[in-house]
Chains A and B, each alone.
Chain A
Amino acid sequence: RKEVEQDPGPFNVPEGATVAFNCTYSNSASQSFFWYRQDCRKEPKLLMSVYSSGNEDGRFTAQLNRASQYISLLIRDSKLSDSATYLCVVRGSNFGNEKLTFGTGTRLTIIP
């Protein structure tokens, strides 16, 4: 089983729609969770951290379910600029807590 597993997509979604991605992780000792965004041929950038109680940042909502070991990202009222690959990232208990394990990403295209 992969350490971090995501549906690769692609998700092709009309502008204004709501879209949700899920991600599962295998290491129950994982300590921190993130969603990064990566534009085509660019570097990853932090979109948001994911907290146990769930958190929201504008149109983006992230949730964590430790019991089921999954993380979700919800994007409401999607914009053309949301087109990107979304990386699920987990910080585990290896390498002195420095290791971030990246999922392979979910590709999202917003259609006008």
Chain B
Amino acid sequence: NAGVTQTPKFRILKIGQSMTLQCTQDMNHNYMYWYRQDPGMGLKLIYYSVGAGITDKGEVPNGYNVSRSTTEDFPLRLELAAPSQTSVYFCASRPAGTASYEQYFGPGTRLTVT
């Protein structure tokens, strides 16, 4: 199993550009999450999904959109990128029906908006 994979690893965007951060997991996990991590700050939840076709806002959803058409994929869309979206983005997943709530993280995407 590759686990949770994210592409790209790095990206530089100009202000106002758009992009999609890709996230795929091959563990058949129902739950998937997007976080951002700013320097010196804890991870903040952007969006999450409890299964294909179902998404919900997290703590900091403004400026982002998500979709979940399959169990495996959970892309994060940035429209009109702003410098405040410079961050490291982590995708995570976890199986349903477990008491542990352990989340498995992808390696992250480092995004700079200039």
Q: With an 8 A cutoff between CB atoms, is B75 at the interface?
A: no
Known: A95-B48, A99-B58. A44 touches B105 (CB 8 A): yes
Count A/B pairs, Cβ under 8 Å. 51
Chain A: CB-nearest residue to B40: A104
Main secondary structure of the interface of A (DSSP, over half): strand
A91 touches B101 (CB 8 A): yes
**Are B107 and A43 in contact, CB atoms less than 8 angstroms apart?**
yes
Taken residue by residue from 40 to 84, chain B's Cβ proximity to chain A (1 for < 8 Å, 0 otherwise) reads as: 111111001010000010110000000000000000000000000
Given the interface pairs A87-B42, A95-B48, A104-B40, the reply to whether A43 lies near B58 with Cβ below 8 Å is: no
The distance from the CB of A45 to the nearest CB of chain B, in whole angstroms, is 7
Give the B interface residue count (CB, 8 A).
22
A61 to B59, CA, bound (A): 31
Question: For residue B108, which residue of chain A has the nearest CB?
Answer: A43
Contact B31 A98 (CB under 8 A): yes
Given known pairs A43-B106, A43-B107, A43-B108, the reply for A98 and B48 (CB within 8 Å) is: yes
Complex: how many Å from CA A94 to CA B41? 20
Name the A residues within 8 Å of B33 (CB-CB): 98
Q: Are B48 and A44 closer than 8 Å at their CB atoms?
A: no
Contact with A along B90-107 (1 / 0, CB 8 A): 100000000011110111
Chain A, residues 77-108, CB within 8 Å of chain B (1/0): the string is 00000000001000100011011111111000
Residue positions of A touching B, CB distance < 8 A:
4, 8, 32, 34, 42-46, 49, 87, 91, 95-96, 98-105
Q: What are 26 A-B pairs at a CB distance below 8 A?
A: A4-B42, A34-B101, A34-B102, A42-B108, A43-B90, A44-B43, A44-B90, A45-B105, A46-B102, A46-B103, A49-B100, A49-B102, A87-B42, A87-B43, A95-B45, A95-B56, A96-B50, A99-B45, A100-B103, A101-B42, A102-B42, A102-B43, A102-B44, A103-B42, A104-B40, A104-B41
